[in-house]
Structure 1
């Protein structure tokens, strides 16, 4: 992550804007906070009470997923930035104070993460290099989510048949096309999932009729449209910070983007970024039902919309096009909110699938991050007398302690955090002479 004046300013302005729209109740990043904001706007809750709820919902994510992944990838992420600006904006007593505090927080994040990484890079046991292993299997693991979703929604038998079809295409597809194996895995899986949902709804016409009665809450949709200029500015800024290689939108993209941004082969880096963008796009599709439904029922939008602005940021050739694309995408999303709500009402299986998709995505990415993180632990240990087994032991103990004590740190974050902790412990044992370098 390049620490230039323009990059610092862009992150500062982005955090200022997201804190402002949070304070005004226009948009927040945390889905759980969105339904609370109308309670304040309509006079049923005090701002201090709302701020307490926002802090309680977000602080764990900031401390684990946000900080842990930022250190592992040297890229900012939405859990680190936007969950915090949710809290800052909501807690600020004055609307002019929210952007000032948000801007200060943005500067702190972009300057501190780089400094911490510089310190880690200078350690005798290679911590930063080994952390590159953390994201090794994320793309492949993420591509499995349609199969897991099918099993969750349609049962084991249908899931196993779907898995066999997907595996055939995964190994056979690349032989007669330029599409990667991971892309074939996800593409075929998603097609099967959508086909199964449509087939189920076509058979069950009663559910479809009931779905058509879904209330879209046009009054609150109109409130989002009224705030559109501010939402478009936020969307433009987020797309820009994605484009300048300082920000990644999700755990699906951050580890591979971290690799792509340091590659010396431009063609290879470009191919990896396109793969990341495809995965991010598929992830965004799964969040449409959740964000659209909560938006039309609360009148509060998502800071990053349906998250397609991340894709625009990754793929745009320069920051200006990224800004325009981000603003246009948010405009189109908001204009289509009512139609999206009605569409989801007609296909209840698609709505049900969205919950299963998010759960399956989390499971697959958690698994991939755990495997990659343990691999990183082994790589760190291999450079010392502790050996790869010693690194595995430390990382494994950290993970299992977390499981045994009620999962104090969420599974999405414990892998990278265990890898970072393993590197720090191995450096400590090196300094006291227990694990000399080999």
Structure 2
């Protein structure tokens, strides 16, 4: 994670802007905080109480997912940047203070973590390098989430059909049976076909049930209009955040989610331009599909609370990865996030019209969580085995079992990479005590 003036300026501006969105009650990153924000906005909860709630909800994710993913890959992520600005924006009593505190957090992250990562790479047991083992299981595992979502929603028979088709697609791509012009990663092909099958099954179900009559939901429409009007007032800030997020993603400083961070790390360290482009496209597709899965959650809470996601529906992430240069990325990012704000009401109506697609989105989120847990577990085990063979695995297993036995204070999704990093630190301590020899 190199320190450059451009990175420092851009991240500082970004965290200042997101802190201001939180301060004005227009947007926060934490999905669990968004439904509580009206209590603060409408005066039923004071600033101190709200900031305490925000801190309690977010601190575990910052310390686990946020820090561990960045140390593992060198890429900044939303949990590290935006959860703290949720807290700081709500905490600050004045807008200028919110902006200042947000900017200060951006500086601290860029400068502090650059130094930490540089220090860790000097250790005799190279555990940060070994963390690269996380990427392959994550890439392969995530490509299977549509199949799992189909099983959840439509049963095991359709799941077997979908799984068979997805496996066939992988074999066809791996054997080079596609035209050379279709330069697809096997995982990208699996992901695309699996998602298409999920959508087909959902639309077919809606069509079968359409004869029962459409449900029109007029009640509550006025409050939706009132809530969205609040968001329109924050449109300049949303456009600025969209531009900055797309730029830092385009400059390879930032990854938008747990499903793209390790793929992007591989892309930016690949040996050839062709491999880099393929991996970036795969990361963009992964984040695009993840964003689709989160539309109902983010859009519904925005319509009912008047508080949007600080990065909108997250489509700005793949836009940033794919744009040819930072200038175009910034323009596209600003446009995309602005359109998302303006289209919220229409999105609500579409979700009411296609209930199976809405249900599919819920299953997508559940499936993503399930496959990512398994993939990160497998990847973390591979990493600790590379660090310290069976000794490394023993330490990792002890950390995992201790977390389970104490009521799981760290969620599994965050625990696996965090425990792998902890294993690396302990192995280095054992090395300095002359109780462990790398490769021994």
TM-score with structure 1 length normalisation? Answer: 0.95
Q: CA deviation at 1:294?
A: 0.9
Contact between 1:213 and 1:345, CA under 8 Å: does it hold in 2? Answer: no
Q: CA deviation at 1:392?
A: 1.7
Find the counterpart in structure 2 of residue 385 from structure 1.
Answer: none
Select between 281-290 and 177-186 the one with higher mean Cα deviation: 177-186
Cα separation, partners in 2 of 1:221 and 1:380, compared to 1, 3 Å: same
Deviation by residue 1:112-132 (Cα, 9 ceiling, x = unmatched): 111111111111111121111
CA distance in 2, matches of 1:306, 1:214: 25
Cα separation, partners in 2 of 1:273 and 1:45, compared to 1, 3 Å: same
Deviation by residue 1:263-307 (Cα, 9 ceiling, x = unmatched): 342222122111111111111111111111111111111111111
Secondary structure in 1 matching 2:214: helix
Residues 1:281 and 2:288 are matched in the alignment = yes
Q: CA deviation at 1:335?
A: 2.0
Contact between 2:263 and 2:282, CA under 8 Å: does it hold in 1? Answer: no
Residues 1:249 and 2:256 are matched in the alignment = yes
How many residues align? The count is 432
CA distance in 2, matches of 1:232, 1:304: 10
Secondary structure in 2 matching 1:96: helix
Cα separation, partners in 2 of 1:406 and 1:326, compared to 1, 3 Å: same
Contact between 2:185 and 2:278, CA under 8 Å: does it hold in 1? Answer: no
Find the counterpart in structure 1 of residue 43 from structure 2.
Answer: 43
Cα separation, partners in 2 of 1:198 and 1:212, compared to 1, 3 Å: farther
TM-score with structure 2 length normalisation? Answer: 0.94
Q: CA deviation at 1:231?
A: 0.8
CA distance in 2, matches of 1:207, 1:397: 55
Contact between 2:430 and 2:436, CA under 8 Å: does it hold in 1? Answer: yes
Secondary structure in 2 matching 1:107: helix
CA distance in 2, matches of 1:70, 1:168: 35
Find the counterpart in structure 1 of residue 420 from structure 2.
Answer: 419
Find the counterpart in structure 1 of residue 9 from structure 2.
Answer: 9
Select between 126-135 and 160-169 the one with higher mean Cα deviation: 160-169
User: After the TM superposition, which residues 145-294 of structure 1 pair with which residues of structure 2 at under 5 Å, given as runs?
Assistant: 145-174=145-174, 175-177=177-179, 178=182, 179-205=184-210, 209-210=214-215, 212-213=217-218, 215-216=220-221, 217-294=224-301
Unaligned runs of 5+ in 2: none
Select between 40-49 and 68-77 the one with higher mean Cα deviation: 40-49
Secondary structure in 2 matching 1:58: helix
Contact between 2:228 and 2:303, CA under 8 Å: does it hold in 1? Answer: yes
Find the counterpart in structure 2 of residue 384 from structure 1.
Answer: none
Contact between 2:29 and 2:83, CA under 8 Å: does it hold in 1? Answer: yes
Find the counterpart in structure 2 of residue 435 from structure 1.
Answer: 436
User: After the TM superposition, which residues 261-340 of structure 1 pair with which residues of structure 2 at under 5 Å, given as runs?
Assistant: 261-340=268-347
Q: CA deviation at 1:226?
A: 2.3
CA distance in 1, matches of 2:309, 2:420: 32
CA distance in 1, matches of 2:259, 2:371: 10
Please report the RMSD computed on the Cα atoms of aligned residues, expressed in angstroms. 1.6
CA distance in 2, matches of 1:420, 1:312: 31
User: After the TM superposition, which residues 337-376 of structure 1 pair with which residues of structure 2 at under 5 Å, given as runs?
Assistant: 337-376=344-383
Select between 215-224 and 346-355 the one with higher mean Cα deviation: 215-224
Deviation by residue 1:27-71 (Cα, 9 ceiling, x = unmatched): 111111112222222222212121121111111111111111111
Cα separation, partners in 2 of 1:375 and 1:23, compared to 1, 3 Å: same
Q: CA deviation at 1:360?
A: 0.6
CA distance in 2, matches of 1:396, 1:136: 21
CA distance in 2, matches of 1:44, 1:26: 17
CA distance in 1, matches of 2:331, 2:235: 14
Q: CA deviation at 1:211?
A: 5.7
Cα separation, partners in 2 of 1:316 and 1:140, compared to 1, 3 Å: same
Contact between 2:134 and 2:376, CA under 8 Å: does it hold in 1? Answer: yes
CA distance in 1, matches of 2:141, 2:6: 35
